[in-house]
Amino acid sequence: MNDTHANARPATVADTTCIVLAGGLGTRLRDTIGPVPKCMAPVCGRPFLDYLLRRLHRNGFRKIVLSLGYLHEQVETWVEREKPDFDFDFSVERQPLGTGGAIALAMTRVRTPQALILNGGEGLVKIIAGKEYGEILGMHIIGPRATDLIAEGALAIAEEMTLDEIISTIHSHPTVTETMREAALQAEGRAIHTSNR
């Protein structure tokens, strides 16, 4: 058997470039945030993109290709000023190419053996819980599917549920609702799919 991959070493985050699709027009947000790229929408005083990049940094990723379009200059200026710890490259669509076209263009900037493609509009769920009993005190639910999770979050707060009760609730896989369970696990330092740092 002649397997050319038999002696290949496993890929690491150092071997991976993250392509972040962040070229959205943000038309549904424009009345709220004004002329700002969707990935730069302010969340608790910071651009949404900042949350995503911080998570990538915590997990060891340093090579990033930002796939940009609408008002790309705002993103480039912010990144160059605020994120010197990354090795950034920018892939700019001069006209909308669609998701597949944006990925194909961004792949021309990748110089590592593999790439991880992320949607800059991905969301996050963060649960704030009491230290002694683990009771749910509040939540941050951000992202395009946030409305699918708000009811569970409101119920957990209203019923004074604990992290353990959220964790033991069935959340089907693969669905967006399992992010609620993952967030509860992360609040206890036991996350499965995300960093516990």
Per-residue pLDDT of 43-58, as tens digits, reads 888 888 898 888 888 8
CA dist 23 and 65 (Å) reads: 12
pLDDT score for 155: 92
Per-residue pLDDT of 62-103, as tens digits, reads 899 999 998 999 999 999 898 877 888 999 999 888 888 899
CA dist 77 and 159 (Å) reads: 45
Whole-number Cα distances in Å, 18 to 112, 166, 184: 10, 31, 26
**Residue 91 near residue 108 (C-beta atoms within 8 A):** yes
Q: Which of residues 173 and 165 earns the better pLDDT score?
A: 165
CA dist 125 and 108 (Å) reads: 32
Q: Is the predicted pLDDT of residue 191 greater than 80, yes or no?
A: no
Nearest residue to 39 via CA among 56, 52, 22, 27: 22
Exposed, middle or buried: residue 33 (CB in 10 Å: 0-12, 13-18, 19+)?
Answer: middle
The catalytic residue positions are: 173
Cα four-point dihedral sign 14, 110, 86, 126 = negative
Q: Is the predicted pLDDT of residue 194 greater than 70, yes or no?
A: no
pLDDT score for 168: 93
Question: Average model confidence (pLDDT) for the chain?
Answer: 84
How large is the average pLDDT for residues 114-137?
Answer: 83
**Three-state DSSP class for 112?**
coil
pLDDT category, 5, cuts 50, 70, 90?
very low
Q: Is 160 left (phi over 0), alpha (psi -120 to 50) or beta?
A: left
pLDDT category, 2, cuts 50, 70, 90?
very low
What are the residues facing 117 on neighbouring strands? Answer: 19
Nearest residue to 83 via CA among 118, 39, 30: 39
Exposed, middle or buried: residue 92 (CB in 10 Å: 0-12, 13-18, 19+)?
Answer: middle
Q: Is the predicted pLDDT of residue 10 greater than 80, yes or no?
A: no
**Residue 137 near residue 164 (C-beta atoms within 8 A):** no
CA dist 13 and 61 (Å) reads: 6
pLDDT category, 23, cuts 50, 70, 90?
confident
Q: Which of residues 2 and 25 earns the better pLDDT score?
A: 25
How many distinct helices (H) and strands (E) make up the chain? 7, 8
How large is the average pLDDT for residues 159-163?
Answer: 93
Q: Which of residues 162 and 37 earns the better pLDDT score?
A: 162
Q: Identify residue 110 by its one-letter amino acid code.
A: V
